[in-house]
């Protein structure tokens, strides 16, 4: 039993190894169609739970920015780009947005009070769409599957041990804070990188991403959790990283502008 569990984990790791768009190794155990179906199902549940905005001006504005972003997706993402993206605005004070596999984007009206212009909104949408393009949902689900297999193997190995309880508790904490959360922070950083490239290619000023996160930091009122216990980088860590990336993506923005790409989305 012990050998078969360990062999199963090893086989998963060897057979599902992939490389992310930024060159990071990924574990992907699920097919794109399966993940897309899960995304569509989740989106339907969210639409049933949340109130959809009836403000046509807000909806047109968000859809305009989202369309500019999704039309700029490079051909290299053909396998994860659904082509047609449904964009829904939710009437809520929550400062949030998301994108799901299967081509679904949700933006909460609370975000529009923090993202002060089309470029800042593009930074958010570009970031969320990048999660989909880089298959982060698939990776997170795959990590959880392997973590569960590892816990099952440890439980079998320690079955007759007097230290099983403390050991399993420590292992659980190690999996949560030493594997799953840091990976999620890696996803956030990767989505920032890809999102900047995407918004710049779509003709939005990437410098506004830094302004956006200063706005986010102000809106949080210092209530964000410690970075080590969070699935997101701290505001300052994110701002510093974005500032370091701006010189790399400004030529993409300037090329888009020179080529006549000038999004005009009225907020």
Whether the per-residue pLDDT at 221 is higher than 60: the answer is yes
Question: In terms of Cα–Cα distance, which of 198, 54, 205, 190 is closest to 116?
Answer: 205
**With contact defined as beta carbons under 8 Å apart, do 147 and 137 qualify?**
no
Tell me, yes or no, if 86 is annotated catalytic: no
Query: Is residue 93 in a domain?
Result: yes
Beta pairing, strands 104-108 & 86-90: parallel
**With contact defined as beta carbons under 8 Å apart, do 234 and 224 qualify?**
yes
Rounded to whole angstroms, the Cα distance separating 26 from 28 reads 6
User: What pLDDT was estimated at residue 174?
Assistant: 43
Longest dimension (CA), the chain: 70
Query: Is residue 146 in a domain?
Result: no
Mean pLDDT of 190-207: 96
Query: Is residue 263 in a domain?
Result: no
Question: What pTM was estimated for this model as a whole?
Answer: 0.79
Which residue range(s) make up the domain with 86? 19-135+182-258
Task: Give the residues across from 25 on adjacent strands.
Answer: 19
Percent of the chain with pLDDT over 90: 50
Confidence of residue 220 (pLDDT cuts 50, 70, 90): confident
Question: In terms of Cα–Cα distance, which of 208, 242, 203, 207 is closest to 64?
Answer: 203
Whether the per-residue pLDDT at 19 is higher than 50: the answer is yes
- How many domains, in total, are found in the chain? 1
Query: Is residue 176 in a domain?
Result: no
Query: Is residue 154 in a domain?
Result: no
Q: Give pLDDT tens digits for 129-167.
A: 999 999 888 888 777 766 555 444 444 444 554 544 444
Query: Is residue 148 in a domain?
Result: no
Query: Is residue 129 in a domain?
Result: yes
Rounded to whole angstroms, the Cα distance separating 166 from 56 reads 56
Token pair in block for residue 221: 């009122």
Annotated active-site residue in 50, 86, 94, 128: 128
Query: Is residue 1 in a domain?
Result: no
User: What pLDDT was estimated at residue 219?
Assistant: 86
Rounded to whole angstroms, the Cα distance separating 26 from 154 reads 23
């Amino acid at each position: 039993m012990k050998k078969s569990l360990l062999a199963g984990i090893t086989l998963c790791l060897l057979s599902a190894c992939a490389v992310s768009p930024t060159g990071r190794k990924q574990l992907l155990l699920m097919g794109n169609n399966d993940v897309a179906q899960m995304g569509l199902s989740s989106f339907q549940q969210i639409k049933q739970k949340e109130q959809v905005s009836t403000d046509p001006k807000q909806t047109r504005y968000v859809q305009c920015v989202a369309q500019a972003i999704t039309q700029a997706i490079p051909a290299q993402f053909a396998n994860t780009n659904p082509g047609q993206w449904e964009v829904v605005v939710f009437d809520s004070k929550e400062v949030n947005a998301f994108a799901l596999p299967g081509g679904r984007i949700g933006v909460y009206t609370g975000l529009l009070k923090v993202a002060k212009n089309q470029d800042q909104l593009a930074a958010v949408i570009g970031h969320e769409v990048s999660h989909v393009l880089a298959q982060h949902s698939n990776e997170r689900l795959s990590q959880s599957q392997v973590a569960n297999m590892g816990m099952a193997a440890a439980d079998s190995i320690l079955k007759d041990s007097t230290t099983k309880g403390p050991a399993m508790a420590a292992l659980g904490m190690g999996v949560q804070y030493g594997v799953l959360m840091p990976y999620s922070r890696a996803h956030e950083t990767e989505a920032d990188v890809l999102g900047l490239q995407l918004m710049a290619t779509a003709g939005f000023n990437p410098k506004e991403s830094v302004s956006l996160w200063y706005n986010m930091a102000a809106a949080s009122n210092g209530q964000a959790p410690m970075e080590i216990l969070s699935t997101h980088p701290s505001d300052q860590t994110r701002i510093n990283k974005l500032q370091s990336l701006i010189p790399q993506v400004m030529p993409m923005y300037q090329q888009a502008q020179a080529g006549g790409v000038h999004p005009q989305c009225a907020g």
